[in-house]
Structure 1
Amino acid sequence: MRLLVLWCPDWPVVAAGLAAGVPAHRPAAVFAANRVVACSAVARSAGVRRGMRRREAQSRCPELVVFGDDPDRDARLFEPVAAAVEELVVGVEVVRPGVVAVPARGAAGYFGGEERLVELLVDHVSGRAGVECQVGVADGLFAAVLAAHRSAVVPPGASAEFLAPLRITELDQPGSDRAELVDLLRRLGLRTLGAFAALAERDVAARFGSAGVLAHRLARGRADRPPHRRAPPPELAVTESFDPPLERIDAAAFVARSLASRFHTGLATRGLACTRLGIHAVTERGEELDRVWRCADPLTPQGIADRVRWQFEGWLRAGEGERPTAGVVRLRLEPEETVTGQSLQLGLWPAGPGGTARGGLGDEHALATERAGRALVRVQALLGPDGVLTPVLGGGRGPAERVRLVPWGERAEPAGDPGAPWPGRLPPPSPATVFERPPPATVLDAAGEPVGITARHRITAPPHRVAVAGGRARRVLDWAGPWPVAAAWWTGPGARDRARLQVLPEGDRPGEPGTALLLVWERGGDPMWTVEGRYD
């Protein structure tokens, strides 16, 4: 995506100087944990550098003005800059205090090209906010930020070529937490972004993990995510006051229908629909009740009214000490998350499984599915959003890592990318039962000695007997593995060296197979072997 980034150099120092009334020509630096986190150009000319200790910085520049690190101050004083950008271009994302990004395509077409837009934006922000800024344009946020550092407009499709000669240290942007990764890449001889981008993504994933894959995508000029655009929010909330107070569910249901219709109409007139609904109530005695409803599909007026009514059921029918002590005098519906109206283009006859329209063979199944969904939403009203969970299968090395539980109605996104390489991933089939608290196990060889895994992830001896949680030792009829799982092995002492082993113990009758087990061995673990799953 084509992005324009406006960057205010040394913003923490600029914000601190504005707050303290220090002139811009004086050398200054911001310190955190006694180290320089940002310094002005005048201080850099005197030898002050980021990461330098305070004593060394002051020895190089005795007249250095020292400021403390204050993220709240930086964000508060940056708001006028973001507002100035928003006056000229709609859809602003504040990346961090000092950096804003906006989609460039529409604004560039309106103002007569990207170069013309850059000139207008620099003049407008400098005049309105009174701060120096630089602007860059490129494909992707990372490339656009580096282009802003150089006041460059990178041609479309040329972000990879623009990034290739830049130093690998550019990956360590403020707030990225890539200092250790960048240091490791430098020690491996990868001095430029182009050298890092030339590596195969599979090799990067195996060596550096997900953090390395993300950095590799940035070095190749690819976007890590689409921008979350900031648009000027209209007043979309709807508030209603009641006299006398609402104390009965039927009265709340009657009010919910009219309030839901007003709320939905206000969103629809702006081409929006609600997917996360905030319900906020205040009782006659000042008690505040709040609940946010998540929905996978945009809410209709009936859906909004149902959730208000079900929420009142949950509040008014709660146990003693949990339900409100007085009636509700004020109710506010607020859209916590909205989508565009395109999400509302539903079919005239909603289709059932296999594409069957309403009124056909799929009608009964579609109606049953809708009734089941409405019932689960009502259960959420009584138990809370996390009271109804659905499993989502994703990527991971072990069976427990691949399953993520998400609240009903929330977007079902997997915990990990199923298509990504997962070294050490267990081959199918997966165990039917995965233990939340793995019980300990003992694995012995034919001589009665404990079985372990060597540093090269080879088994020390074939398993002969296995005992679970201090139970009777059973003879092992068959086994497979081990599958090594060296998770984050480059992190040093925090790494976990593990391996998985599948065993088939003898059943209750001699010679007959029992229930297969998935065992996990961990170096230095206590106990060394545990049962992760069971193949029921």
Structure 2
Amino acid sequence: MLVLWCPDWPVVAAGAAAGIPANLPAAVFTGNRVIACSAVAAARGVRRGMRRREAQAKCPEIAVLGADASRDARLFEPVAAAVEELVVGVEVVRPGLVAVPADGAAGYFGGEAELVELLVDHVSASAGVECQVGVADGLFAGTLAAHRSVLVERGSAAGFLAGLDIGELNRPGAERGELVDLLRRLGLRTLGAFAALAERDVTSRFGAEGLLAHRLARGRSERPPHRRRPPPELSVTENFDPPLERIDAAAFMARTLASRLHAGLAGRGYACTRLGIHATTESGEELTRVWRCAEPLTPQGIADRVRWQFEGWLRTGEGIRPASGVTTLRLEPEETVAGTSLQLGLWRGGGSALGAVVSEEQVLATEKAGRALVRVQGLLGPDAVFTAELGGGRGPAERVRLVPWGERPAPLPGHDAPWPGRLPAPAPATVFTRGISARIADSAGRPVGVTRRFGLTGSPSEVRLDGGGARPVLDWAGPWVAAGRWWSPDDPGPRVRLQALLGGDGTGRPEVAVLLLGTGQENPLWTVEGKYD
């Protein structure tokens, strides 16, 4: 994380608004206490937290300024904009402090040191303010590195923080004065001494606030950065006279607009992953469609989606298609990522995410299939094509989640939880939407149920399928028990799963491996949930 810090920003902003020269001592007060002071005032002995009378005693000519958060934010916007001209993904932590991911920009400008030097010069020339830059793992370590103009090596944040005073935890916007005082009384004078404590002991003694401070002292991140949204002028708009009523004319204009949109995004270091296509017809109808894209869009990809969208609009039946031609077309990047995401391999094919060799024919076939699915989305809507993603759950059907094609799958909370009772691998190749009713019997012909300790009342010997006859059980494994809403009176009871290898039924049907699901306890209802290949 690269952090750019403008020292004493409240004083700089207040002095600029009041017209006070930078060479005069000044301080910002809240509740008659100093919250920020200029370097000139600090040289006279003024410190943050000092009472107003004491500060004026040390520096009688000090300019007394009031705090104004909106003023500070308003005057800091040119600084953030100057940083954003060079680096993508700016996060304004607070007025006077911005953070950005360092990897992409450092690789583009030739290294972190070169990026820092260029950024300091650019901010000074564009915004006319002095700044300091630091680079470290995480926002907290990066902020302290910026205060010292240090570039911390990757993975060395904990060592950099270890020797710093424990009072660094008490920062503007995250006041931890009481916690810091308590840690000092306990003899913990440095961040390293605090970080050496066990996390369990810190949590039990200091609670959630102490745990967060402990993470920061260890060089961990408090939260991921919140990216600034791209400015609205990145969208492109074109008016048509006469109106567009033919697909070939729309395709021609789409290439021009796509090139303009892509050039504007690339000039700011962005790439589009979610494209909004907005059209207005001559009769005042407003047509809108948002395209989700699995990968950042190229100019050709943008043009294809506009053309496909016009095909979907202009080739529909009467009563659905627009009543007149399109007079205005606007392309708007609804979602963007850093432009480095567009860096593709030099050769097409040659490898895959799993390390397997992939031929050029396979790559082209994959791209062709993706374009076909995107075209279906254009005709039927973005929620008409789905891909399956595995998530949390105990049974195979519970773990499958459908994600619209092109949308980046995000894991749901608890996807990596232990899930006691989860069916072990391998999962069945086929999972039935509606289970096939079955009856399990032991060697004596008695129904197999579930005991109070969630075992089976007998060894499965025969499975009789609904409409499929009886089949012998050649082998079986389980049971795997999953207790669901046991506190609810409507809960039918625990769910028990068995894997069974069934023999032929004497009519020529081969052996088959199935997954059996039993619901209830005393007289469970058995169904075939899935089938293995």
Asked whether the two chains share a fold, i.e. TM above 0.5, the reply is yes
Asked whether the 8 Å contact 2:422–2:480 carries over to 1, the reply is yes
Alignment deviations for residues 84-131 of structure 1 (CA, whole Å, 9 cap, x no partner): 697487844899xxxx999455555555589xxxxxxxxxxxxxxxxx
- Counterpart position of 2:483: 486
- Counterpart position of 1:425: 422
- Counterpart position of 2:58: none
For residues 218 and 410 of structure 1, the distance between their equivalents in structure 2, rounded to whole angstroms, comes to 33
- Counterpart position of 2:328: 330
Asked whether the 8 Å contact 2:462–2:471 carries over to 1, the reply is yes
- Counterpart position of 2:528: 531
Asked whether the 8 Å contact 1:397–1:422 carries over to 2, the reply is yes
Pairwise CA distance, 1:313 = 0.8
One-letter amino acid of the counterpart of residue 273, structure 1: A
Match of 1:403 among 395, 400, 404: 400
Instruction: Sort the Cα spacing of 1:367 and 1:505 in 2 relative to 1 into closer, same or farther, 3 A.
Output: closer
Instruction: Sort the Cα spacing of 1:372 and 1:398 in 2 relative to 1 into closer, same or farther, 3 A.
Output: same
Q: Does 1:260 align with 2:258?
A: yes
Q: Does 1:307 align with 2:305?
A: yes
Alignment deviations for residues 485-522 of structure 1 (CA, whole Å, 9 cap, x no partner): 23587x77798732211223342318986322211123
For residues 308 and 511 of structure 1, the distance between their equivalents in structure 2, rounded to whole angstroms, comes to 55
1:222-261 counterparts in 2 under 5 A?
A: 226-230=224-228, 233-261=231-259
For residues 459 and 261 of structure 2, the distance between their equivalents in structure 1, rounded to whole angstroms, comes to 68
Match of 1:497 among 490, 494, 497: 494
Q: Does 1:382 align with 2:388?
A: no
Instruction: Sort the Cα spacing of 1:497 and 1:84 in 2 relative to 1 into closer, same or farther, 3 A.
Output: farther
SS at match of 2:497: strand
For residues 454 and 217 of structure 2, the distance between their equivalents in structure 1, rounded to whole angstroms, comes to 33
- Counterpart position of 1:371: 368
Match of 1:518 among 497, 515, 518: 515
One-letter amino acid of the counterpart of residue 372, structure 1: A
Q: Does 1:341 align with 2:319?
A: no
Asked whether the 8 Å contact 2:471–2:505 carries over to 1, the reply is no
Asked whether the 8 Å contact 1:516–1:534 carries over to 2, the reply is yes
- Counterpart position of 2:460: 463
Asked whether the 8 Å contact 1:520–1:531 carries over to 2, the reply is yes
Pairwise CA distance, 1:393 = 4.3
Instruction: Sort the Cα spacing of 1:272 and 1:288 in 2 relative to 1 into closer, same or farther, 3 A.
Output: same
- Counterpart position of 1:73: none
- Counterpart position of 1:454: 451
Instruction: Sort the Cα spacing of 1:485 and 1:530 in 2 relative to 1 into closer, same or farther, 3 A.
Output: same
One-letter amino acid of the counterpart of residue 505, structure 2: D
CA-based RMSD of the aligned residues comes to 4.9
Pairwise CA distance, 1:81 = 10
Match of 1:438 among 428, 435, 438: 435
One-letter amino acid of the counterpart of residue 341, structure 1: G
For residues 145 and 423 of structure 1, the distance between their equivalents in structure 2, rounded to whole angstroms, comes to 39
For residues 361 and 504 of structure 1, the distance between their equivalents in structure 2, rounded to whole angstroms, comes to 36
Alignment deviations for residues 293-329 of structure 1 (CA, whole Å, 9 cap, x no partner): 1222211111111111111111112233332222222
- Counterpart position of 2:273: 275
TM-score (norm 1): 0.59
Instruction: Sort the Cα spacing of 1:169 and 1:111 in 2 relative to 1 into closer, same or farther, 3 A.
Output: closer
Pairwise CA distance, 1:339 = 1.1
SS at match of 1:530: strand
Taking only the aligned residue pairs, the percentage that are identical comes to 58
One-letter amino acid of the counterpart of residue 464, structure 1: S
Asked whether the 8 Å contact 1:441–1:468 carries over to 2, the reply is yes
For residues 467 and 190 of structure 2, the distance between their equivalents in structure 1, rounded to whole angstroms, comes to 66
SS at match of 2:283: coil
Instruction: Sort the Cα spacing of 1:300 and 1:2 in 2 relative to 1 into closer, same or farther, 3 A.
Output: closer
Instruction: Sort the Cα spacing of 1:107 and 1:418 in 2 relative to 1 into closer, same or farther, 3 A.
Output: closer
Asked whether the 8 Å contact 2:451–2:521 carries over to 1, the reply is no
Pairwise CA distance, 1:479 = 2.1
1:18-29 counterparts in 2 under 5 A?
A: none
Asked whether the 8 Å contact 1:402–1:415 carries over to 2, the reply is no
Instruction: Sort the Cα spacing of 1:483 and 1:336 in 2 relative to 1 into closer, same or farther, 3 A.
Output: same
SS at match of 1:436: strand
Structure of higher CA gyration radius: 2
SS at match of 2:426: coil
- Counterpart position of 1:320: 318
- Counterpart position of 1:291: 289
Alignment deviations for residues 163-183 of structure 1 (CA, whole Å, 9 cap, x no partner): 743558955x9xxxxxxxxxx
For residues 489 and 219 of structure 2, the distance between their equivalents in structure 1, rounded to whole angstroms, comes to 33
Pairwise CA distance, 1:419 = 6.7
One-letter amino acid of the counterpart of residue 400, structure 1: A
For residues 415 and 225 of structure 2, the distance between their equivalents in structure 1, rounded to whole angstroms, comes to 23
Asked whether the 8 Å contact 2:192–2:217 carries over to 1, the reply is no
Asked whether the 8 Å contact 1:520–1:529 carries over to 2, the reply is yes
Pairwise CA distance, 1:466 = 2.6
One-letter amino acid of the counterpart of residue 331, structure 2: L
Instruction: Sort the Cα spacing of 1:222 and 1:530 in 2 relative to 1 into closer, same or farther, 3 A.
Output: farther
> Number of residue pairs matched?
391
Q: Does 1:165 align with 2:162?
A: no
Instruction: Sort the Cα spacing of 1:414 and 1:513 in 2 relative to 1 into closer, same or farther, 3 A.
Output: farther
Pairwise CA distance, 1:462 = 1.8
Alignment deviations for residues 8-59 of structure 1 (CA, whole Å, 9 cap, x no partner): xxxxxxxxxxxxxxxxxxxxxxxxxxxxxxxxxxxxxxxxxxxxxxxxxxxx
Instruction: Sort the Cα spacing of 1:85 and 1:136 in 2 relative to 1 into closer, same or farther, 3 A.
Output: farther
Instruction: Sort the Cα spacing of 1:368 and 1:286 in 2 relative to 1 into closer, same or farther, 3 A.
Output: same
Alignment deviations for residues 211-241 of structure 1 (CA, whole Å, 9 cap, x no partner): xxxxxx9999965862333357352111222
For residues 71 and 395 of structure 2, the distance between their equivalents in structure 1, rounded to whole angstroms, comes to 47
Pairwise CA distance, 1:285 = 2.5
Asked whether the 8 Å contact 2:449–2:521 carries over to 1, the reply is no
For residues 362 and 400 of structure 2, the distance between their equivalents in structure 1, rounded to whole angstroms, comes to 27
Asked whether the 8 Å contact 2:234–2:332 carries over to 1, the reply is yes
Instruction: Sort the Cα spacing of 1:301 and 1:101 in 2 relative to 1 into closer, same or farther, 3 A.
Output: closer
One-letter amino acid of the counterpart of residue 428, structure 2: P
1:90-105 counterparts in 2 under 5 A?
A: 91-92=90-91, 103-104=139-140
Instruction: Sort the Cα spacing of 1:440 and 1:93 in 2 relative to 1 into closer, same or farther, 3 A.
Output: farther
- Counterpart position of 2:473: 476
SS at match of 1:379: helix
For residues 367 and 396 of structure 1, the distance between their equivalents in structure 2, rounded to whole angstroms, comes to 35
